[in-house]
Amino acid sequence: MKTTGTSFTQGFNLYALDGANSANTVLHNPGVSNTAALGQEEAVKRFCALFLDGDDADICAAVDALSAYRNGDAVGASQAEPMMELEAAEQTVAKHLSPNGKEALLQSIGGGAGDSEFSELFSLKQRYCLAARTHLNQVDDTVHLSNYARAVKDLQAAAALYTLAGMHAQSAEAALQAAGIIARWGKLDQAASLYLKIAQACEGTGQRDAALKAYQEAVKAFWLYAAVNVGPTDKAPEGILKVYKTVEEAGLRAAAIHESSGELQLAQDAYLWAAEARRVMADVKMQRGRHWEAGEDYLRVVQALKRIGKDTQALEVTMKAAQAFRASAEQWLKCEDRLDLAAQGFWESAKALEREGLPGAEEAYRDAAKTFEAFANWHLKGGRAGRHHWASQAFMDAGKTYALAGLSGPSKHAYGQAAHAFLAYAQSLKDATGDHEALALLNAGKAFDLSGLSEEAQSAYLQSSTAFWGIVKAHFMAGRRPQAEQALKNAAEVDTLANLTQGAEMAKRLLSSPDLLVRPISDREWLDATLKKFVAVKTPE
């Protein structure tokens, strides 16, 4: 017989029998005739003689007990002798099978097996269970002899056979024993992986307690494995990180099981396993110079700790997250073309501290702003195409970040630099199609506003308004309604910012005219004339 894997599927316990006073006790069936009983007795005796190592009364009674309930009813059960408990009967039969009997048993459950003495007396489920017992009966001796490999094979075979019989609790128990022996053998990573598979299978068959036990044992095995195999100079951390990630997942699953049962304290304990695993992952990444990833992991730990009310520990880990992001920033400061990543590191450090009300946020924001500014200046000095566009974005980030640091003067200065970069970018787009020039002028106006230069802002808004209305006209005349509507929205925005009330209201009226493009040609001419007049005169109101 071939048995592979340790899958577990929902089934039934063949010992839970209808009409029995005890779930594990076979009762007499007074409806069985004496002739049938005599036939059963002869079949039992023949079976004992062929396949067991003895034919005394106890062994034959065990065979009779199992056979009587091969279909779930006491068929052919002897009324003259007390019936035995089924589990004891099964164990007795399995224990006394001769080598020839074991071979015949395996043949009776193999593929294409025909009728045999085994199939005559026992159901297929009973034969699966008997075969499982024969494997289990060998485990103690092989473990005593330190033949762990053989013991594991026997237990895994038993687990597979119990699964085929639909005996999922017994299957899980055998598989858990196998994982425990693998752990004793020193193969902790393999044991932990097997525990996880068992836990997942037990969840699938509704075996809550077995699943929890398997998850707990998996976590223990993984922690032991990591303690033995992980060092600060480990040059190949990916496998170790995978171990800790698996511990985290096991903790989260165990927590979910506890929560579903209302066991909130146990759920918190399991969440703590998961958080601790993620924290160790972050520590390992910090040691390997993977500072940004470490910072993200620390933040996940913070969220997990706050979820279970560990606020003091969460603050400590928040500090580690801020330190990790700062370390990442300092790494990238060495690369001028990636100063944006350095600035983002300082920014994330500041945000982490700010969220928890910890000191140091303003300093981190200031460092981020200076780095954004340095990145913008690097773009300007390079002479690269599109440099003003990228510089303007970096200056805007610098202005915003200086403001968060409480530095109003540097913030306004950065916004002013952004505005001039936007103007230069708009100038480079004079001969380009589309609305990029108009958008650049709009952004220049906004940046001037933020820098406190209202006259310069108004000038930029007027240029932007003129450009957008020209785009509106072009799209309307060409029948490009979606593009015209977007240009009208931009025109309404810029005219509102520039206090050009007439233009803003006209844009809104046009946007509220869904049939505009299907009007008669005379109305088109009217629209053309209106737009020409409006575009020709652009003065503040």
- Kindly tell me if the per-residue pLDDT of 390 is higher than 80: yes
Q: What is the rounded average pLDDT of the residues 297-306?
A: 96
Give the pLDDT confidence score for residue 31 in this predicted structure.
38
- Kindly tell me if the per-residue pLDDT of 110 is higher than 50: yes
Which amino acid is residue 55, in one-letter code?
D
Tokens of 531: 């737009």
- Kindly tell me if the per-residue pLDDT of 35 is higher than 50: no
Q: pLDDT grade, residue 516 (50/70/90)?
A: low
Give the pLDDT confidence score for residue 323 in this predicted structure.
98
The count of C-alpha atoms lying within 13 angstroms of the C-alpha of 339, restricted to the half-sphere facing its C-beta, is 21
pLDDT, tens digit, 9 for 90 and up, residues 439-457: 999 999 999 999 999 999 9
DSSP classification of residue 296: H
Tokens of 85: 């408990």
Give the pLDDT confidence score for residue 360 in this predicted structure.
96
408-440 burial code (b ≥16 CB/10 A, e <16): eebbbbbbbbbbbbbbbbbebbeeeeebebbbb
Q: What is the rounded average pLDDT of the residues 179-208?
A: 90
Of the candidates 17, 128, 155, the residue with the CA atom closest to the CA atom of residue 83? 17
Q: What is the rounded average pLDDT of the residues 316-333?
A: 97
Q: What is the rounded average pLDDT of the residues 195-213?
A: 91
Give the pLDDT confidence score for residue 541 in this predicted structure.
41
- Window from 411-415, 424-428, 527-531 with minimum mean pLDDT: 527-531
Asked whether the beta carbons of 444 and 423 are under 8 A apart, the reply is yes
- Kindly tell me if the per-residue pLDDT of 470 is higher than 90: no
Averaged pLDDT of the chain: 82
- Kindly tell me if the per-residue pLDDT of 95 is higher than 70: yes
Q: Which residues contact 431 (CB under 8 A, 6 or more apart)?
A: none
What's the whole-model pTM score? Answer: 0.72
pLDDT more than 90, % of the chain: 49
Give the pLDDT confidence score for residue 415 in this predicted structure.
97
Q: pLDDT grade, residue 53 (50/70/90)?
A: confident
Report the C-alpha gap between 126 and 118 in whole angstroms: 10
Q: pLDDT grade, residue 39 (50/70/90)?
A: low
Q: Read out DSSP for 78-125?
A: -SSSPPPBHHHHHHHHHHTB-HHHHHHHHHHHSTT----HHHHHS-HH
pLDDT, tens digit, 9 for 90 and up, residues 273-290: 999 999 999 998 999 899
Give the pLDDT confidence score for residue 10 in this predicted structure.
30
Q: pLDDT grade, residue 518 (50/70/90)?
A: low
Q: Return the number of other C-beta atoms located less than 10 Å from residue 185's C-beta.
A: 15
Report the C-alpha gap between 297 and 321 in whole angstroms: 8
